[in-house]
Structure 1
Amino acid sequence: MTGTRKVQRSSGGVYDLGLHEVCGPKYRRPILGGRVAVRLDELIRQKVDEKGWEIVALEVMPDHVRLFVKHDPKSSASCAANQFKGFTSRVLQAEFPHLKSRMPTLWSSYFAASVGAVSTATVEKYINTQWERAGKKEKGDAS
């Protein structure tokens, strides 16, 4: 979604709400690689579809997740983060028992910022170029 502004309409108004969220596993452990990363990506997309939101950019890194999502005005940043964290934690720990045995709580706190002070394109580019930054391993290296 680069270039022109895309607004959503509801019965009560018009909105364009973007949220940049970062969530990391407890102690920022690099456990989000391989099959876990693939499944986490699927689960986040499933939750976004369920809520009727839109993913602008999503990257699952070994030790954190960056998400730029467009959401409805009824959903706060904390609501969105908790939707992702609670749902993905339950499913991932059920499907990957080693996650539960290593860490009873999968996620630590989150960072959320509304996208408005910088352009949508800037946030999207920042998230999409995570793997190009110095010192980063290749995408999918961690297991």
Structure 2
Amino acid sequence: MGEVRSNKTVVYRCSYHVVWCPKYRRPVLTGAVEDRLKQIIHEVCAERDAPIEAIETMPDHVNLLVVCDPQYGIHRLVKQIKGRSSRLLRQEFPHLKSRLPTLWTNSYFVATTGGATSEVAKRYVENQRNV
């Protein structure tokens, strides 16, 4: 059902399924770009004490199942992931600059997974490559 976590004032169990896409849904998340993106996501989540339950990238979108402190907020976490990954990936892979005015769309999908459906959401994210 998920681990109960806490900070100084809140005890929580908040797991989120987040999906976002490159601008124009371009299939650019492959090879070294994909590997580096996952590394950046892991770094940001570790810094924010936001454990990743599952992550999978497809060429044209990212699926992330992550636990996030409600006082920090999922919006701030996603904003930080998208901002840092866009900046670093465009610096490290110049071909992304020529194909896209920005790496990510402004929007994203987010849903709470709930206790009973957390495992279902995790299997969904992990099985994206098999679809």
Same fold, judged at TM 0.5 (above): yes
1: distance between equivalents of 2:61 and 2:116? 22
**Is the contact made by 2:68 and 2:74 (CA closer than 8 Å) also made in structure 1?**
no
Render the CA deviation track for 1:39-88: whole Å, top value 9, x for unaligned: 00100001011111100000011000000000112122321211111010
Aligned CA-pair RMSD: 1.3
Runs of 4 or more, structure 1, over 3 Å off, are none
Identity %, equivalent residues: 42
- What is the match of residue 31 of structure 2? 34
- What is the match of residue 45 of structure 1? 42
- What is the match of residue 58 of structure 1? 55
2: distance between equivalents of 1:26 and 1:110? 11
1: distance between equivalents of 2:86 and 2:96? 9
1: distance between equivalents of 2:114 and 2:30? 31
User: Among residues 69, 90, 101, which one is paired with 2:87 in the alignment?
Assistant: 90
**Larger relative strand fraction:** 1
2: distance between equivalents of 1:131 and 1:99? 23
> Aligned with 2:108: secondary structure?
strand
- What is the match of residue 12 of structure 2? 15
Deviates more, 1:61-70 or 1:9-18: 9-18
2: distance between equivalents of 1:49 and 1:77? 14
> Aligned with 1:59: secondary structure?
strand
TM-score when scaled to structure 2?
0.94
Unaligned runs of 5+ in 2: none
- What is the match of residue 114 of structure 2? 116
2: distance between equivalents of 1:13 and 1:63? 36
Cα offset, 1:13, TM superposition: 2.9
- Which amino acid counterpart does residue 115 of structure 1 have in structure 2? T
1: distance between equivalents of 2:108 and 2:7? 28
